[in-house]
Structure formats: structure tokens, C-alpha cells
Amino acid sequence: MTHATQALDQMRPPYPAEPGAGVYSNKLGMWVFLASDVMFFTALIGSYIVLRFGAPGEWARPGAVLNVPLTAVNTFLLICSSVSMVKAYAAIQDGKKYFLRPVPGKLLRDGGLKFWLLVTMICGAGFVSVQVVEYIKLVGHGFTPAGFREGSLLAEHAAADPIKYGATVAGLYGSSFFTMTGFHGFHVTCGVISMTYLYFTKVLPEKYSPQDYRGIEVIGLYWHFVDLVWIILFTIVYLI
């Protein structure tokens, strides 16, 4: 437990210290950050619940305004990215720094950190792209943060069937929908940017090892959290 042996292992404290949380500081810091992010989403989701229950009218029926099948596919994409994140984490724990490597006697090649993190990044970027397309289409149909735009397609539908389209509370619907999903999309974007940064500065130069894979584990925690938030958002915004 001298300084020399500790310097070899980056995942342990650099100096002798009292018993702490039992995890290295980057991980602890990410846990604390996620606690604060929980509070941030709690503020948004809590406001949504309060506004929806206290609203003067019924919310639009599920699927009336939003494209649920498209978002379901998108949700699946994000869940897949969480799986590939786990694969990336497992790969570096086993010391697999490579991209793909053939396995004798098996049809499929074995993926390493470089492969699985790239898959995660692509799935994440795909999720954001689909969300951008969804936003453009919604705004095109007349669904904006302020409600249904005057003279738009959705405004006409809402006039014809105010119950199904939640005409009286369209403003609240737009406000909460775009704010919550928008900030979730912002989180996914931040995650993809961080992973891209790590990919070029740490993963490609093979700086991670089974002894030190802090960046992968920490970004993994963040990624699973963002995924979890989406599952909640998908349920309460799209399905209910």
C-alpha cells in the first residue's frame, strides 16, 4: 500500500485516505451528479403531473397527436444502446480493446470495446435523429410548445374532435411535451458527444485497460440513467 503501487492503479485513491465510499472518486462524483439530475427531471415531471391533474380539460388521447409506433421503435433503439453499453463495459473489463476479432469455430466475430462503444454511439445518435425528425413533423402538423398553431392541420382536427385532441389543454400539452422530451434529448446528445470525445481520445489510442476503465464505467452510469428516464417519459407522455 505504498505510493508506488497506488500510482499503478488509477482506480484507487492517489493518496492514503480514510475509508470513503468504497468506489473511486469519478464514480462517486457521477452518482452525486445523477442525484442532482434526478431532482432536475423530478421538477419537470412533477410539474407535468400537477399540470395534467389540475388541468381544466382532458389531455389528448394517446396516439392522437404523437406518433407512438415511431417512438416505440426509438425507445427500443435506446434500450439496445444500453445493452451495447454493458457489452462495452464487459469487454474492457476482460481486456478486449479491439474492434472485432474472429473466434475459431464460431460464425460471428467477437466484439471488443471499440465495437460496442461505437454501436452505443450510433444508437444514441440515431435516437436523437429520430427525435429531431419527430419534432419537425409535429411542428409541421401544427403542434408547438404553445399549443396547436392557428390554421394548422392539428387545429382543424381539434376543432372537429376536441375530446380526442384535448383541445382545451393543448397549450399545456405542448409545453410539457416539448420541455420534457427536449431536455431528455439534450441529455442524450451530451452523452453522445462525451462518448465521441472518449472514443477518439481514450478508446482508439487504447488507453483503457482492465485496471483502469473509469471513463467507460462513468459514462455508462450516465447512459443507463438517461435510458431509464426515457422509459419513464415514454410511459407517462406517450402511453398514458
Partner 1 sequence: MTSVAHARPEGGAHGAAHHAPMSFWRKYIFSTDHKIIGIQFLFVSLFFLLVGGLLAMQIRWQLGFPGKPLPGGGILPESMVSGGVILPEYYVQLVSMHGTFMVFFAIMPLLVGVYANFLIPLKIGAHDMAFPRINMASFWLALLAGLIMTASFFVPNGPIRSGWTNYAPLAARPDLSGVTVGQMLWCISIVVLGLSSVMGSLNYITTVINHRAPGMTWFRMPLSVWALFITAILGVLALPVLQGAAIMLLFDNILGTHFFDPAAGGQALLWQHLFWFFGHPEVYILILPAMGMVSDIIANGSRKPIFGYHSMVFAIIGIAFLGWIVWGHHMFMSGMNPTLGSTFMVSTLLIAVPSAIKVFNWLGTMWRGNLRFHVPMLNAIGFVSMFTIGGLSGIFMAATPVDIPLHDTQFIVAHIHYVLFGGSLFALFAAITYWYPKMFGRVMNEGIGKLHFFLTFIFYNMTFFPMHIIGMGGQMRRIYDPTIYDFLKPQQPLNVFISYSAFALFAVQILFAFNFLWSLKFGKKAPQNPWDDNGMEWSLPNPAPHGNWERTPNVYRGPYEFSAPEAGDKDFLPQFLKLPTDRDPVPAPLPAGH
Q: Considering the complex, what minimum distance in angstroms separates the CB of residue 46 from partner 1? A: 8
The answer to whether 169 and 141 are in contact (CB under 8 A) is no
> In Å, what is the CA distance from 59 to each residue of 62, 167, 170?
9, 8, 8
Q: How many residues bind partner 1 (CB under 8 A)?
A: 52
- The per-residue b/e assignment along 167-177, b for 16 or more CB within 10 angstroms, e otherwise, is bbbbebbbbbb
What residue spans of 94-213 are helical by DSSP H? 113-141, 153-160, 170-198
> Which residues, at least 6 apart from 58, have a Cβ–Cβ distance to it below 8 Å?
163, 166, 168, 169
- Grid coordinates representing 196 are 465521441
Nearer to partner 1, 142 or 174 (CB): 174
- Grid coordinates representing 211 are 485496471
Q: Considering the complex, what minimum distance in angstroms separates the CB of residue 201 from partner 1? A: 14
Q: CA angle, 74 as apex, 73 and 80 as ends, to 5°?
A: 90
Q: Considering the complex, what minimum distance in angstroms separates the CB of residue 122 from partner 1? A: 29
Based on the shown chain and the rule CB under 8 A, indicate whether residue 29 belongs to the binding site for partner 1. Answer: yes
> What pairs with residue 101 in β-bridges?
110
Residues 111, 124, 142, 147: which binds partner 1 (CB under 8 A)? 147
- Span near partner 1 by CB under 8 A; candidates 29-37, 82-90, 114-122, 227-235: 29-37
Based on the shown chain and the rule CB under 8 A, indicate whether residue 68 belongs to the binding site for partner 1. Answer: no
Nearer to partner 1, 124 or 166 (CB): 166
Residues 8, 54, 104, 240: which binds partner 1 (CB under 8 A)? 54
Based on the shown chain and the rule CB under 8 A, indicate whether residue 151 belongs to the binding site for partner 1. Answer: no
* Contact pattern for partner 1 over residues 94 through 133, marking x by CB under 8 A: ----------------------------------------
Based on the shown chain and the rule CB under 8 A, indicate whether residue 150 belongs to the binding site for partner 1. Answer: no
> Which residues, at least 6 apart from 56, have a Cβ–Cβ distance to it below 8 Å?
168, 169
Based on the shown chain and the rule CB under 8 A, indicate whether residue 47 belongs to the binding site for partner 1. Answer: yes
Nearer to partner 1, 55 or 80 (CB): 55
Based on the shown chain and the rule CB under 8 A, indicate whether residue 172 belongs to the binding site for partner 1. Answer: yes
> What pairs with residue 147 in β-bridges?
144
- The whole-angstrom separation of Cα 215 and Cα 232 is 26
Nearer to partner 1, 119 or 188 (CB): 188
**Positions in the binding site for partner 1 (CB under 8 A):** 1, 9, 11-26, 28-29, 32-33, 35-37, 39-44, 47, 50-51, 54-57, 144-147, 168-169, 171-172, 174-176, 178-179, 183
